[in-house]
Amino acid sequence: MQSAIYRFEFDEPTSMPDVEVTLQLAILGAEALFGESSVRMDGAYSIDEARRVCVVDARNEVGRSICQLFTGYLSKELGPDAFRVRTVREMNRARAPEEQAAA
């Protein structure tokens, strides 16, 4: 299984407060699996409402679980077309040719 940081992007019609509630549900699910202390220590995530982005660090078991739950909940609650998700590594690779051309 690949360990990565995942970036979720949401289009304008998607409610960011709904996204935040969905992330909180995923965090609760991870707490049920690993305990509140483990999630507080090992879970890393952030939401930027202005940019319509949520980032989840899935480089450990707790983070992977939060990410899997979050992705599943988003698909069921908001629909699979309500968001895009990709790894930060993919984003950096996609930028690399552009940066090389600018140099």
pLDDT tens column, 1-13: 567 999 999 999 9
CATH code assigned at 72? 3.30.70
Residue 29 pLDDT? 97
Domain range enclosing 77: 4-102
Contact assessment for residue 84 and residue 94, using Cβ atoms and an 8 Å cutoff: no
Q: What is the mean pLDDT of the chain?
A: 89
Q: pLDDT band for 97, please (50, 70, 90 cuts).
A: low
Length of the chain as a residue count: 103
* pLDDT for 16 beyond 90: yes
Tally the domains of the chain. 1
Query: What is the distance between the alpha carbons of residues 31 and 101, in angstroms, rounded to a whole number?
Result: 45
